[in-house]
Amino acid sequence: MLLKNDRYNVQGVDLVDLAEAHGTPLYVYDADKIKAQFDRLNNAFGDVKLRVKYACKSLTNLSILKLLRSYGSELDCVSIQEVQLGLMAGFEPAQILYTPNCVSFEEIKEAVEIGVMINLDNISILEQFGHEYHGSVPVCIRLNPHIMAGGNKKISTGHADSKFGISIYQMAHILRVVKTYDLNVVGLHMHTGSDILDAEVFLRASEILFDTAKNFENLQFIDFGSGFKVAYKTGDITTDIEDLGNKLAESFKSFCADYGRDLEMWFEPGKYIVSEAGLFLVKTNVVKTTPATVFVGVDSGMNHLIRPMMYDSYHEIVNISNASDTKRVYTIVGYICETDTFGLDRKLDEVKAGDILAFKNAGAYSFSMASNYNSRLRPAEVLILNGEAHLIRKREVFEDLVRNQIEIDI
């Protein structure tokens, strides 16, 4: 988002005009930023055989998936529905990693029929898989390294009390299952959490993976997950991707030399690729003064952007209607019948009813976690590509809310 002549724009598209044209609330995505993030990661690991698999749970719009496919990305999916969306967007089954957690075995069988790479994180499911397929279907195993990492416990997945992955302390049990069913283990996977700053976290996890890999003869890849930290405010510390790339690539090459052949390195970033590319535009409904606080009430709430309430996440907020006015302190809240505070005591250019506010870092886990709570409708989505705004999802209408309801005579 750039400021020129007191008007905010993305790729030259005026954001206030965009809000007027499509209404608010409105999700807006910048294709240039998505490409820049993808290219930066893709180029950070030198000549290592790298596959970037976009974690599509962060944003599953078909146009975004097609855009990333055009850049050379592959896909990481956590549900069979995400797999189906990936196929609709043109990804080949061989480009898709399916990493379920606590799903039925019937869903896993459906993914096998499609032909995607299966990534399992439960010994009992691994046993069922072996009983069903007897080594005929390649499989990846997700391990829990017992490394606490991430900015919030809810997004830390590699600690000892996590539901994700098979504990490295259960390796003897894993190897018995693999031997009993002659499983064809072609990959090992770890994901320790999100908002990881330090390359040392990945390096520590990699040493665990490398040591574990010695037990498997047929590996084709090692998947290091993701969790890279992006900037949420000016001056924020972020993951140094280039530093990580240099250090991890060197370690990986050394491992491959010891292993006896070159493997592929996989990553599955989601937020890193799309978070900073997204803006969420809302309109100010009311400015309400109380004895202690000046509230700005907007035409959205936790139903459209739940991360501040769920994860205490910070989203920078900008008044794009008044770009050079007097700064005042506001608390920005939503219209949901809950305490849905987007930002507490924020300095903004003076806000009036009708002004458009922009929430930054709204590309990841915004629309994908949106709901119809309070029977509110979900917003439209717009992609700005090559300097043009494209509507990529229509705003819901009331008929969408009741479409699948069945009224009975009472």
**Half-sphere exposure (CA, 13 Å, Cβ side) for 254?**
11
Q: How far is CA 292 from CA 41, 216, 330, 331, 345, in A?
A: 46, 63, 11, 11, 11
List Cβ neighbours of 249 (8 Å cut-off, separation of 6 or more): 45, 46, 48, 265
338 is known to lie in a ligand binding site: yes
Task: Give the span between the Cα atoms of 333 and 156, in whole angstroms.
Answer: 27
Sequence length of the chain is 410
* Contact of 350 with 325, CB cutoff 8 Å: yes
Which amino acid, 83?
Answer: V
Asked whether residue 227 is marked as a ligand-binding residue, the answer is yes
Report whether 311 belongs to an annotated binding site: yes
- Known binding residue 407? Answer is no
Q: Are strands 13-14 and 7-10 parallel, antiparallel or unpaired?
A: antiparallel
Note the helical H segments in 153-216.
171-181, 199-213
User: Is the alpha carbon torsion for 75, 67, 368, 33 positive or negative?
Assistant: positive
CA dihedral of 231, 237, 241, 243, whole degrees rounded to 10: 170
State both tokens at 187: 């990959």
Distance CA 300, CA 290 (A): 21
Residue 255 backbone dihedrals phi, psi, to 5 degrees: -60, -45
Specify the residue for token string 């040591």. 211
* 337 annotated active-site: yes
The residue whose two tokens read 């997004």 is: 155
Residue pair 215/171 in contact (Cβ under 8 Å)? The answer is yes
- Catalytic, out of 56, 77, 102, 337: 337
Q: Which residues pair with 295 in a beta bridge?
A: 288, 331
Neighbouring-strand partners of residue 228: 196
Q: Scanning the structure block, which residue is given the tokens 């993951």?
A: 239
Cα–Cα distance list, 55 to 46, 52, 232, 271 (Å): 22, 9, 20, 8
Q: Which residues are annotated as a binding site for substrate?
A: 307, 311, 338, 365
Q: Which residues are annotated as a binding site?
A: 227, 307, 311, 338, 365
What positions carry a catalytic annotation?
Answer: 337
Q: Which residues are annotated as a binding site for pyridoxal 5'-phosphate?
A: 227, 365
